[in-house]
Structure 1
Amino acid sequence: MGPWAFFAGLLLSVMGMGKWQETGSPFWLAGSLTLFVVVLISGLASLGGGKKG
């Protein structure tokens, strides 16, 4: 995962949290938290994995 994708995922998570606060819908909360966890795991995996060679 590149740095642009990481920050884009974080931005989408924050925007989803804002939408959840506006609407109060649990679907926005669940989607935002899920996206945040996926982005965090992907970022940590790409950070730790690196290139092998």
Structure 2
Amino acid sequence: MDNWETHDGMDAIAVIRMAGRFPGTKNVDKFWQNLRDGVESISLIGEQEEIEL
């Protein structure tokens, strides 16, 4: 018997931290908001811009 079976009615909680750089946004909260709202954030870059990244 595992822990899930021994704690009937107990709510499971997961704490996750996320960091990153995303196109069209300055933070993770805005990134998730864009995903939720269907905002298209992809943009094409030229060869010179690729080198500078």
Alignment TM-score, normalising by the size of structure 2:
0.25
Larger radius of gyration: 2
Structure whose residues are more often helix by fraction: 1
Q: Relative contact order (C-alpha < 8 Å, sep 6+): which is higher?
A: 1
